[in-house]
Structure 1
Amino acid sequence: MRGLFAIAAVAILTTLAVACNGRKGNSQEDHSPGELPDTLRVGTLYSPTSYFIYREEKMGYDYDLMMSFGADKGIVIDLHVAPSLPALIEMLDSGEIDLAAYEIPVTAEFRKHIMPCGLENITHQVLVQPKGKDRITDVTQLIGKEIYVEEGSKYQHRLNNLNDEIGGGIIIHTVDQDTLITEDLIEMVSTGKIPLTIVDSDVARLNRTYYNSLDVGLEISFEQRSSWGVRPDMPWLADTINEWFIKSEPAQIQARLLKRYFELSKESPQFNIDLSKGRISPYDELFKKYAKKIGWDWRLIASQGYAESHFDTTVVSWAGARGLMQIMPRTARAYGLSADRITNPEANIKAAVDIIGDLDKSLKKHVPDSVERRKFVIAAYNSGIAHVYDAIALAGKYGKDARIWNGNVADAILMKANPEYYNDPVCKYGYFRGKQTTAYVTKVMDFYERCRRQIPR
Structure 2
Amino acid sequence: MQNVVMRRHEIPTRALQIGIFLSLLLFGYSNLYKPLPAWQSEALVVVIAQDSTLTYEEFSKQLAQKFAAYLAVPLKIILVPANQVEATMLSRHAHLSASGFSLAEKNPALLFGPGYLTLREQVAYNQYQPAPRNTSGLLGKRIAVVAGSNQEKALITLKEQLPALNWESRKNQTVEDLLGEVSKGALDYTIADHEQIAQMLNFHPNLAVAFNIGKPSQLAWAFPANADNELIAANERFFASIEKNGELNKLLDHYFGHNDRLAPLDAAEFMKQLDTTLPRYQSLFEEVGKVVNEDWRLIAAIAYQESHWDPLATSFTNVRGMMMLTEATADEMKVANRLNPRDSTLGGAKYLRQIKEQLPDSIQEPARTWMALAAYNQGMGHLEDARVLTQRQKADKDAWTDVKKWMPSLNNPLYFEKLKHGYARGGEAVIFVENIRAYYDMLTRLDSHNDSEKQPRHAYQLVSTRDKPAFSLSGLRKAEVGSHNKQAAVDYSLVR
Shorter-chain TM-score bucket reads 0.3 to 0.5
TM-score relative to the length of structure 2: 0.42
Q: TM (normalized to structure 1)? A: 0.45
